[in-house]
């Protein structure tokens, strides 16, 4: 699995790094230091071809993966083969 050339954990991160992404309504997306799973069962599971939008964020599910981005077109791609900031 390509994870942006295996990102190195920052020295100040004592938790897991590289598999969690965050983005704000403006600006770039990035990986974060995280120690637990965040899951909200009330949110929809997107089938292929579906688009989810809320508060300036858009996520699109396709067979090639899930792409999420903000109004500035910064975001991330998650697939079975890679995870990267776009």
DSSP secondary structure letter of residue 14 = -
- Residues 83, 67: contact at Cβ < 8 Å? no
Question: Which residues is 53 bridged to in the sheet?
Answer: 58
72 phi/psi in degrees, rounded to 5: -90, 5
User: Domain ranges in the chain?
Assistant: 45-86
- Per-residue confidence of the chain (86 residues) as pLDDT tens digits? 444 456 788 899 888 887 788 898 888 999 888 887 767 788 878 999 999 999 999 999 999 999 999 999 999 999 988 889 98
């Amino acid at each position: 699995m390509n994870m942006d050339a295996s990102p190195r954990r920052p020295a100040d991160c004592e938790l897991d790094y590289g598999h969690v992404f965050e983005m704000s309504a403006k600006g770039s997306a990035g990986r974060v230091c995280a120690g637990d799973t965040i899951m909200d069962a009330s949110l929809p599971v997107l089938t292929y071809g579906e688009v989810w939008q809320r508060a300036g964020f858009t996520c699109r599910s396709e067979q090639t993966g899930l792409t999420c981005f903000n109004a500035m077109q910064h975001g991330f791609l998650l697939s079975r083969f890679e995870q990267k900031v776009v």
